Structure 1
Amino acid sequence: MEYISEENGLLWKPSDEIKQRANLTSYMSWLQQEKGLQLETQAQLWDWSVNRLEDFWASIWQYMQIQASQPYTQVLAQPQMPGAAWFAGARLNYVEQVFRHATAERPALLIRSETAPLREVSWQELQHKVGAIANGLTAMGVGVGDRVVAYVPNSEEAIIAFLACASLGAIWSSCAPDFGTRSVVDRFKQIEPCVLFATDGYRYNGKMLDRRSIVAELRQALPTLRKTILIPSVYEAPDSADAADILLWDELLAYDDTLTCAQVPFNHPLWVLYSSGTTGLPKAIVQSQGGIMLEHVKFLHLQMDLKPEDRFFWFTTTGWMMWNLLVGGLLVGSTILLYDGSPGYPQLGTLWDLVQEAGITVFGTSAGYLTACMKAEITPVQTHQLTRLRALGSTGSPLPPEGFRWVYQAVKQDLWLASISGGTDVCSAFVGGSILLPVYEGEIQTRVLGAKVEAFDELGRSVINEVGELVLTEPLPSMPIYFWNDPQGKRLNDSYFASYPGIWRHGDWIQLTSRGSVIISGRSDSTINRKGIRMGSSEIYRVVEDLPEVVDSLVIGVELSGGAYYMPLFVVLKDSQPLSEELITKIKTRLRNTISPHYVPDAVIAIHEVPRTLSGKKLEVPVKKLFLGLPLDKIVSLDTLSNPHAFDDFIRIAAQFRDTTEATVGS
């Protein structure tokens, strides 16, 4: 690998040796030998993958040796969106694809928590436990199509319970134990589960958090439950359950451990994921066994270059789709690391400690964590031995250019930085990394294979080197097969296809560069539209948060009567220092000179925290609705937030603003 510091933003490019070892190189060689295709570059490969969609996905099936008890009769019987029908006739099971990689040469799982030391779980042990839990579920009457839900941390038990559920053809859904009762009920009640896996508590940020009362509330609020399986995580396991409908985890482990995998159609539901639910009842997004399997083996093996000998870690909880993607590492035979705890306890460098301790080779985290490390002036290159780390993934929000530079200056120079962007809606990425391509600061390397991503302007025309709506003009196998309780598909259609019939609109601003890289500039539903000029909020954040005094920021644009427009910028300051006129002037001048006078806010206001979802996304739209006069309980579910108290400042500021709306504010 080669680190470069040049004025054109080029930070890294792969060596010839890396290219030769790359999974993408092996795949292209296989395409030439088996299919007679002469594809030599990422761009050529992507172009073929989206314009010959059936040929591409058939090749992934064959190349990745997907196991099926019954072969498919057609790759894509109905290519339209929504409703694309993939791999008709095939019968398979996600879990078989996992355990075909079982080996004694390396562990399947690495487990670590804030209080427990690192330990290994072998493939054999994992398979035996999955078999026992699956047979225990069968004894309860759980079968194909039944819903099994889990209120559990990122633990060994979570992986085992999910794989057991999937092996039966049952449908999985999980929430992290930092979700409150209402949030969990809003999700789980929609799908009428028959079994609940639940933890008695969890540890986070050095504290022990009791969840036994919430589990009791869930049992009362979910009338379809037949059994609850209690997983002792914090408290000593009782000798026996205190209710007839409760079983202990160890009771299920006592069942026969022979694993049998039900053969289900390709389009059979695997799990239910949920939209953030910040502004209403969360959408219950159903994705298929085959669609997820195929998408994850493609993305992880080819785009993330995961190999069986890799140790793969993405910091996540069971309430974020990145947990589901992390589990997908087992589909390609990698060892995956599960960490249950805070990334900032006992100090912000904890995850780097873990990467060193576990010998992680591919480490993924949020852009927010990387920028927090940058702000705290953490330098892992000086404090840690990261010799095995070869790739760093970033997602959750756009990583700003200075975040890219920090990685190469403070973490490691011989490192492939793969920034990715996608969504819960497909449980994968639309755009991401390619180990064959250089890394430029502030840019995602490429559109991923099989994802026909385009940028549409206001007239619905595909554009290059211009900011536009992120759309997909061809289907992906992991797109939702339906939303739960949406029999006519109206909510699904309204969510993705209302703007451009037959074309998926994702809701991000995207720019495709002439060299094939990608820039994401924020959510299009939180766009700033000042004097007719649309701008992505991430451009403002990049400039403002580059200032050493600013820890975090949030900007909104509020349309007022008479055509007026108010654009305040909220800032969290380092060490809670007071906001001075000097700093306000500095912020406005930096925005005016760095980007445009149109980006200068009408007001700069200090706050204590930026409100964020549990996955780290800034909540611009709910803040905007507060300023428009909507009550907080109508615009956001506080249980879905990592820091609900952050709204306290905005409630006060918005009330003051509404009291003075007759005064002249921006235009």
Structure 2
Amino acid sequence: MSEGRLLWEPSAERIERAAMTRYMRERGFEDYHSLWQWSVDELEGFWGSIWDFFGIDATYERVLADRSMPGARWFTGAEVNYAEQILRGKDDGAVAMLARSELRPELAELTWGEVRDQAARVAAGLRALGVQRGDRVVAYLPNIPETIVAFLAVSSLGAIWSSCSPDFGPRSVIDRFAQIEPKVLLAVDGYRYGGKDFDRRDVVEGLRREMPSLEHTVLLPYLGSGPLEGTLSWDELVAEHAPLAFERVPFDHPLWVLYSSGTTGLPKAIVQGHGGILVEHLKHLGLHVDAQAGDRVFWFTTTGWMMWNFVVGVLLTDASVVLYDGNPATPDLDVLWDLAEDAGITCFGTSAAYIASCLKGGVRPRGDGRSLTALRSVGSTGSPLAPEGFEWVYDQLGPDVWLFSTSGGTDVCTAFVGGVPLLPVYEGELQARALGCKVEAWDDDGRSVVDEVGELVITEPMPSMPLFFWSDPDGSRYRDSYFSVYPGVWRHGDWIEITSRGTAIITGRSDSTINRGGIRM
């Protein structure tokens, strides 16, 4: 196969089923590219339509009161709660999550009723510990259901969430968490990875010593390595039940803090808001990923990568999420494909590196009688997917699978170039620029170019852009990170080519950093 060769086109049935089709027709557009142009030219009309299409239960004064970057002001006067939007209208008997891990090899299911009950218990426990609006709760927890439940509880209170994966070493965690002065630490006693057990109680003890703002530490006995003096057990935290209430907060109230490593200094502590993440995730998961009732969406990630937060966003839709904690190559590279069969995964999200490993390792996902009849799409991110990766997916998973390579960043907790269920897939190319994301390729003179490689810039604001960086009182680090090259225009640090047919090709980093597991180095 040569680069740019047509690999896939959506069937008429898939186009009719897609939420994007209904949204596009309701706006009066005949094709995606016309819809995209409107979405970036008429920001207020577009984002207001997203609010209405997904039925956000709140009022606002104006969609975009100030469109300057940085400093755009969105949905002024609105009060929302991200967790409330996730939990509202969900059927208590429907499956919310499916989960497996090396420590818990049996596939577990949690219904929305169970999630709601557990989140209510965690919220009650945190409230009893004095957690309130604006307090920071940090999680040193793996990608398991308890972590999502804890996030829902924290955000329901209007408190601010931040997480790191338990495989992060002490210094990496302290460099992140200590910046935001957390009140409560939720931690795991250990984990299993690659068949080996890792007791993390010493690390947790070190975190407690290094973060004087901590008032309480809660220990989840995931590995079963034993208690830790001076901590509260998870069972104690969730012992009491109280009705789950939601603290509605201003649109730009902080939801969570993500981290992205710069070239020098501490990691950037990126603060994103309830409202901005809400409208962006509704748009992207609901329209671009096309997550719908009956879907089971999986993306391999840890809690230290923005893709974990992105997966949480799937719960804004009527789809279920599938979680995995462990080494994706233990006992071999078939482990995630076994999960896909057992969990009935419809959207299998992974990294370009994993696809390359499967190719190199001779993995046959449909081999040995494995049934992947539920699988309809494969997502790839983390780095550009090579043409041979596209070829492997279609050789091994068949011609009917929609493969969407996607690119974005921790900085906006979404993709601004990637999948569109209505468009064809060309080898080595990302399908299109996402709605509401005015992505362009700029040459050395700051001119937009087509069919040429240029700097990836975003020339209009997006709601999920950072509110601010923590520990950056004058905003100088924020401005230097994105706006120092082109004042008022976001420079992302990637090389991109926008083709004349509207697809995109990401060719690598332009700022001499690389990305591993969502962390720039």
TM-score normalised to the size of structure 2? 0.97
- Among residues 137, 141, 153, which one is paired with 2:126 in the alignment? 137
- Among residues 174, 194, 198, which one is paired with 1:185 in the alignment? 174
Q: 2 CA distance for matches of 1:336 and 1:48? A: 32
1:290 paired residue number: 275
**Partner SS state of residue 316, structure 2:** helix
- Deviation, structure 1 residue 488: 1.1
Please identify which structure carries the higher helix content.
1
Alignment of structure 1 residues 7-22 onto 2, 5 Å: 9-22=5-18
Q: 2 CA distance for matches of 1:307 and 1:402? A: 30
Alignment of structure 1 residues 147-296 onto 2, 5 Å: 147-235=136-224, 238=227, 242-243=229-230, 246-276=231-261, 279-296=264-281
2:505 paired residue number: 519
Q: 2 CA distance for matches of 1:294 and 1:278? A: 31
- Deviation, structure 1 residue 378: 1.1
2:337 paired residue number: 352
Shift in alpha-carbon separation, 1:257–1:355, aligned structure 2, 3 A: farther
For residues 98-155 of structure 1, give each alpha carbon's deviation from its aligned partner in whole angstroms, at most 9, with x where no partner exists.
Answer: 1114114531111111132101011011001111111111111110100000101001
Q: 2 CA distance for matches of 1:55 and 1:167? A: 29
Alignment of structure 1 residues 306-455 onto 2, 5 Å: 306-383=291-368, 384-455=370-441
Does the Cα contact within 8 Å between 2:383 and 2:515 map onto a contact in 1? no
Does the Cα contact within 8 Å between 1:273 and 1:424 map onto a contact in 2? yes
- Counterpart amino acid of 2:24? M
2:50 paired residue number: 60
Shift in alpha-carbon separation, 1:153–1:386, aligned structure 2, 3 A: same
Shift in alpha-carbon separation, 1:8–1:513, aligned structure 2, 3 A: closer
Alignment of structure 1 residues 608-647 onto 2, 5 Å: 613-615=516-518
1:76 paired residue number: 64
- Counterpart amino acid of 1:179? F
Q: 2 CA distance for matches of 1:614 and 1:42? A: 31
Shift in alpha-carbon separation, 1:420–1:358, aligned structure 2, 3 A: same
2:38 paired residue number: 48
Q: 2 CA distance for matches of 1:524 and 1:612? A: 12
Shift in alpha-carbon separation, 1:136–1:226, aligned structure 2, 3 A: same
Does the Cα contact within 8 Å between 1:98 and 1:333 map onto a contact in 2? no
- Would you say 1:109 and 2:97 are equivalent positions? yes
Shift in alpha-carbon separation, 1:403–1:7, aligned structure 2, 3 A: closer
Does the Cα contact within 8 Å between 1:129 and 1:257 map onto a contact in 2? no
- Deviation, structure 1 residue 7: 8.4
- Taking only aligned residues, the RMSD between alpha carbons, in angstroms, comes to 1.5
Q: 2 CA distance for matches of 1:236 and 1:430? A: 42
- Among residues 93, 97, 120, which one is paired with 2:85 in the alignment? 97
For residues 434-489 of structure 1, give each alpha carbon's deviation from its aligned partner in whole angstroms, at most 9, with x where no partner exists.
Answer: 11111000000000000000000000000000000000000000000000011111
**Partner SS state of residue 203, structure 2:** helix
Q: 1 CA distance for matches of 2:94 and 2:404? A: 25
Does the Cα contact within 8 Å between 2:189 and 2:220 map onto a contact in 1? yes
- Would you say 1:120 and 2:109 are equivalent positions? yes
Does the Cα contact within 8 Å between 1:202 and 1:209 map onto a contact in 2? yes
- Deviation, structure 1 residue 172: 0.4
2:26 paired residue number: 30
- Deviation, structure 1 residue 28: 1.6
Q: 2 CA distance for matches of 1:159 and 1:333? A: 16
Alignment of structure 1 residues 448-467 onto 2, 5 Å: 448-467=434-453
Alignment of structure 1 residues 482-631 onto 2, 5 Å: 482-526=468-512, 613-615=516-518
**Partner SS state of residue 380, structure 1:** coil
- Deviation, structure 1 residue 253: 1.2
Q: 2 CA distance for matches of 1:435 and 1:168? A: 36
TM-score normalised to the size of structure 1? 0.76
2:75 paired residue number: 87
Shift in alpha-carbon separation, 1:98–1:612, aligned structure 2, 3 A: closer
Q: 1 CA distance for matches of 2:240 and 2:249? A: 24
Does the Cα contact within 8 Å between 1:130 and 1:257 map onto a contact in 2? no
Number of residues paired by the alignment?
Answer: 519
- Deviation, structure 1 residue 333: 2.2
Shift in alpha-carbon separation, 1:280–1:423, aligned structure 2, 3 A: same
Does the Cα contact within 8 Å between 2:155 and 2:161 map onto a contact in 1? yes
**Partner SS state of residue 313, structure 1:** strand
- Please identify, of 135-144 and 189-198, the stretch whose mean Cα deviation from structure 2 is larger: 135-144
**Partner SS state of residue 382, structure 1:** coil
> Which of the pair has more CA radius of gyration?
1
Question: Runs of 5+ in structure 2 lacking a partner?
Answer: none
Q: 2 CA distance for matches of 1:132 and 1:7? A: 53
Q: 1 CA distance for matches of 2:410 and 2:500? A: 28
- Deviation, structure 1 residue 156: 1.2
Q: 2 CA distance for matches of 1:164 and 1:144? A: 12
Identify the structure with bigger relative contact order (alpha carbons < 8 Å, sequence gap 6+): 2
Does the Cα contact within 8 Å between 1:368 and 1:616 map onto a contact in 2? no
Q: 2 CA distance for matches of 1:154 and 1:449? A: 29
Shift in alpha-carbon separation, 1:8–1:521, aligned structure 2, 3 A: closer
Q: 2 CA distance for matches of 1:484 and 1:423? A: 18
Shift in alpha-carbon separation, 1:73–1:200, aligned structure 2, 3 A: same
For residues 556-607 of structure 1, give each alpha carbon's deviation from its aligned partner in whole angstroms, at most 9, with x where no partner exists.
Answer: xxxxxxxxxxxxxxxxxxxxxxxxxxxxxxxxxxxxxxxxxxxxxxxxxxxx
Give % identity: 58
